[in-house]
Structure 1
């Protein structure tokens, strides 16, 4: 009978629902930890209810940089109200009846604390180590020297190429970026005419051609200034203060001639899509 009862208790323990991947011990509690000098909530920490307040402070000091003598601990409920001060260093945490989800707030009374004035959160306050180019060039086993050696062996060496070789996959050299020439898209531009209706790909926007030519401030070659039927553009017919055509704000756009098709593109009437009633 005893063995049967033991098996029942064991089965209930194993199959009991749990909020985590492991059963939480009855003598522990999970608390949200906040700090008077830190903007963000630190973390959720699990504490043993038998730990003294002094031991609690020593554990927390490793997380926040506040020395235990400078700490004042408070327990807050879920709404942040009703602070209970943990005043007695020799009382156990369980004496204050904390429960899962409560907030344990750390007040740091040390004006010279590591956590004061943002020293643990604002990285701009930390002095950065800067090595001179001369000192770096004297160091051995640097990436710079490794790269120089590899490029002596193979002028086309790149880190990407070496990674492909290590993985045993073919390396495809990227094509050199083409610089737009002054006559690019000239042929496509000749097929278009200012004042004609058009459609623009790939978005299928409709409008009227207002300008054909080159545009200062954009890559070389020919552009088409289009006045859209709807406010789907990026400008009012001007680029960097220079006007090429006139239209309302956000109705104008400049696109490459190969993206513009001239033809019968009537303005879309939303009423055409409605059923008769």
Structure 2
């Protein structure tokens, strides 16, 4: 029996994948379609379907991606420009009967009013009840960050998390210089205005600029930017020392120095796409 060598395998891979298109030499019986859904804002990744599959089989496959029961689906085939071409109503017909092409779309209309995707339940996390622990219950826990932090502060009133991390790395901790200029970073703040979309370092945390200013009691000297994050990646609800500066849910607000803020075209991103890098010392 003859076995394929490394060069043979590489040649086969190059033939199947092709030089540029990813799967240039795909089977002629398949088609690559984008999937959209009546109840979902997200546009699903392209799905490769067999032209010989019945519409019923296509619906079953789409049900695993959309959560819609096949019996509640109405499928519409659209061209690259989004123009409807055909209603795929006959479950017994083959997908190829409708002559779909790569780049076309299949729109799934969910006719079930009790569907799990209705009303944004599969996308809008604000609709999901979240567990909240009271301060009293949290204080009863034997091992918690709050208790550990208080223990460290009792030993060293100047303790900070940054100082602790430097100690664990075996390096000398150098505290950031105290800002004494009330106009600190004014040159950077002038280019940031309320209402702009932004990205905040570290971690490319996306959000909207809600406040730009200085001289607020509870904030160190210099200019600061108030941000309402798209995800709960902040430290507060837009308040400083109990004073409400802007509206934000708890954990969605934060105040950062202007040098940590980039403004421009920064749309919301997938909350699972990036790992949180941690918060810096120049953030409140």
Instruction: Name the TM tier (shorter chain).
Output: 0.5 to 0.7
1:61 is paired with a residue of what secondary structure? helix
2:125 corresponding residue in structure 1? 123
Kindly state the Cα deviation for residue 103 of structure 1 after the two structures are TM-superposed. 0.7
Counterpart CA distance in 2 for 1:137 and 1:71 is 50
Question: What value does the CA root-mean-square deviation take over the aligned residues?
Answer: 3.7
Aligned residue pairs, count: 180
Query: 29, 36, 45: which is aligned to 2:31?
Result: 29
Query: 57, 60, 63: which is aligned to 1:61?
Result: 63
Distance 1:140 1:58, change over 3 A: farther
8 Å CA contact retained: 2:38, 2:107: yes
Query: 156, 159, 177: which is aligned to 1:157?
Result: 159
Distance 1:92 1:139, change over 3 A: farther
1:17 corresponding residue in structure 2? 19
Query: 83, 99, 103: which is aligned to 1:101?
Result: 103
Query: 41, 44, 47: which is aligned to 1:45?
Result: 47
8 Å CA contact retained: 2:16, 2:23: no
Counterpart CA distance in 1 for 2:130 and 2:82 is 38
1:147 aligned to 2:155?
no
Counterpart CA distance in 2 for 1:15 and 1:34 is 27
Deviations 1:244-266 (A, max 9, x none): xxxxxxxxxxxxxxxxxxxxxxx
Deviations 1:99-125 (A, max 9, x none): 110011000101121222222333332
1:106 is paired with a residue of what secondary structure? strand
Query: 173, 176, 197: which is aligned to 1:174?
Result: 176
Counterpart CA distance in 2 for 1:148 and 1:160 is 15
State TM-score, norm by structure 1: 0.53
Kindly state the Cα deviation for residue 140 of structure 1 after the two structures are TM-superposed. 4.3
Unpaired runs of 5+ residues, structure 2, are: 1-7, 188-212, 216-284
Task: Name which one, 1 or 2, has greater alpha-carbon Rg.
Answer: 1
8 Å CA contact retained: 2:16, 2:26: no
2:48 is paired with a residue of what secondary structure? strand
Deviations 1:54-100 (A, max 9, x none): 33223322332222211111111112224322223344433433211
1:88 corresponding residue in structure 2? 90
Query: 128, 136, 149: which is aligned to 1:134?
Result: 136
Counterpart CA distance in 2 for 1:156 and 1:173 is 10
Counterpart CA distance in 2 for 1:57 and 1:11 is 31
Deviations 1:144-183 (A, max 9, x none): 2332333344433322122223344432112445486xxx
